[in-house]
Amino acid sequence: MTNHPNGTSDGQVRWGILGTGFIAGLQTQDLIENGFTVQAVGSRNAESSRQFSEKFSIPTAHESYEALVADPDVDVVYVATPHTYHHAHALLALNAGKHVLVEKPFTINAREAQEIFALAEAKGLVALEAMWSRFLPHMIRLREIIQDGTLGEVRKIIASHNQNLPKDPAHRLNDPALGGGALLDLGVYPVSFAIDIFGTPENIRASASMTATGVDRQTAAIFEYAQGQQALLDCELDAAGPNRAVVIGTEGWIDIESTWYNPTPFTRFDSQGNVQEKFHQPVNSRGMQFQAAEMERLVRAGATAGRVLPPGGSLAVMAAMDEIRRQIGLSYDADSTPEGNSND
């Protein structure tokens, strides 16, 4: 088995891109720039698929998602459709025998996530959440520091994700029918970060302000843990912020610069505020290739779960966001419909 810790590929695993939106373009660009084989793209719109394939020099453009997942020359499907369709499209690909890398948030709720992971496990396939920040070099180094005890007892995490995004009520970010709101789009980053470091919280306290369309405009949450640790998390979709994160321990702290979930430097201080380490590892492209390298590693190993982001980690994130939404009074159609949204 060949591992590619630098986010590169030998090109043997063949990727299919399901969806042709903005995030699909970002992931595809990173794949191509780092030696991954992007074999096909699929869209509901034939012209959109053709244009996307031409832009990225992708050999095959399919006129439907069904055709993409049926393509015998595709091994892994990257699901990049709006949140409400992740569940249906991941199941579509898995049932066609394809591994899936599913954009975050992995699904609308924990029930949908559980169904995807259960099917993947039953078929011996990989279902991986595309929480790209977990696989970046600075996050790997941060986990090493915490693990070796350099910070002492880690007591607190503070993480924010605030952006000034489109105000149009019809935009998917503001549309409850498409899983809109700050929490699922932006808050998933700090929530995943807290669960990465501390695990599943024992208690959650959350509050929010809502938009006129009925989704959360800004949300804040405190995660509380059995040993007294806290994670202070916030997100907002109509006001930009510094987007920094801090990990605080009894023997020091780590300050992750803006934007903390992107490839970015951090500084480790001792408890007196003296600089102990400055970490900065430049990466090629945007950095989304590292999650793709993990997917290929799992495929080669015949494994359905890795250590950085196993299914249980993604399920914990979705469960935490379910609880936050319960407290702030934000629900989606998929919460009351067992099958969720099966059509698009």
Classified by CATH at the fold level, domain 14-132 comes out as: Rossmann fold (3.40.50)
10, 12, 125, 129, 293 from 36: Cα distances, Å: 7, 8, 19, 18, 9
For residue 340, what pLDDT is reported? 41
**Residue ranges, CATH 3.30.360.10, the chain:** 137-279
Would residue 104 show up in a list of annotated catalytic residues for this protein? yes
Orientation angle between helical segments 289-301 and 22-33, nearest 10 degrees: 70
Calpha distance 280→267 (Å, rounded): 9
- Give the pair of three-digit tokens for residue 12: 């043997």
CATH 3.30.360.10 fits 137-279, yes or no: yes
**Residue ranges, CATH 3.40.50.720, the chain:** 14-132
pLDDT digits (tens, 9 = 90+) for 111-152: 999 999 999 999 999 999 999 999 999 999 999 999 999 999
The residue from 55, 98, 104, 156 that is catalytic is: 104
Calpha distance 237→217 (Å, rounded): 6
Residues of the chain with pLDDT under 70: 1-5, 337-344
For residue 337, what pLDDT is reported? 65
For residue 6, what pLDDT is reported? 75
pLDDT digits (tens, 9 = 90+) for 194-247: 999 999 999 999 999 999 999 999 999 999 999 999 999 999 999 999 999 999
Q: Write the DSSP symbol of residue 164.
A: B
As a whole number, the mean pLDDT across the chain is: 95
For residue 343, what pLDDT is reported? 36
For residue 344, what pLDDT is reported? 34
pTM: 0.94
